[in-house]
Structure 1
Amino acid sequence: MSQFVIGLTGGVAAGKTEVTRRFEALGITIADADVAARAVVAAGSDGLARIVAHFGSGILLADGQLDRAALRERIFSSAQERQALEAITHPAIRELLRQTCEQAASPYAIAAIPLLAEAGGRQQYPWLDRILVVDAPVAVQHARLMQRDGTTADLADRMIAAQASREERLALADDVVVNDGHPDHLQAEVERLDAVYRRFAA
């Protein structure tokens, strides 16, 4: 059971997945907010029942699964609807992440939370012992989005602008991994931090 938990965050295309993959390779349990977000709205879940109660059965597919496209349409056309969805899903996601971290067999656990700054930071996640930010310059994020996802320059701009600023994320950080283009340099950084976190956890 892990009593020491690191919150890992970073902007879109900053390299969070690459960094978490390297921690995982060192035997560290990763609780992923994206995985938790899917689990809390799975068919038959309490979360999905509450979403249907609020949004109506029109947001279900024929097989009882959530129609993500229909829901996305609703929440992006109304800030009020987006807040209603977040009020249903965010507490459940936080609880699932906390449970996964607590049950981890590794010396410490990592909660990978892409929107940590947007979701209220330490205030909403008081059980995080440290926060690690994977940071990349905006120009690098922009180039990666266009290259990786084939997005237009305009869409890349909007995706970056929709998130917390780089400064807001860095203000949360206890530790920072700069990922500006050299994946080899990431391994040494992850190994260094792993040693630090194992010491803290002990």
Structure 2
Amino acid sequence: MRPGWAVGRAERSLLVESEIRAAGLDLTANDADISSLDPDVLLETFRANLVGMFLVTKHGLPTMLDQGAGSIVNMASVSGMAGESSLSAYGMSKASVIHFTKQVAVQYGKQGIRCNAIAPAFVNTRNNKQYASQEFADVYLRHMVSTSGAEPQNIADVVVFLSSDEAALVNGHVIPVDGGITEVSPIVADVRELGGHTA
């Protein structure tokens, strides 16, 4: 095991806090294309986004199994659902979160545990407002089919639903909260700017 990957009890609480803060597209400095990606950035990104989530789940499962019920909601991203021109480490880590979610659902669903993931696009979090340019945010909004981008409350509302009895039969799914960005043709934004469909 690589030094630094073993996480103690004190660090676990920090990992829980970091997962809560990570809702939305939390940009990682130096997360570039594959050929120039620093392996340490890749490892640290997986450590934050996947290993932290794994540890929180691993240590929460015994209590849920004892009570015969539980709902786990993981934070994925649309970056984990399709390839991108950058954010390589981030996207790969979030793709792993999606598969991890399905593994937990399959392995523990019959024991009363549900595990789902939310995949936001750009969310107006404090981190994004601080580190992402408005031009970057506008790129996401341009390709959405919604009238506005996501606020943290939009993500929280879906977490509440997935954690509730109303979602009792929702298990192993990835729910995009992305303004429809993953469900449209790549040329929709361009066609829209041309004034609609052309002959």
TM-score (normalizing by structure 1): 0.33
Q: Taking CA–CA contacts closer than 8 Å with sequence separation of 6 or more, which of the two structures ends up with the larger relative contact order?
A: 1
TM-score (normalizing by structure 2): 0.34
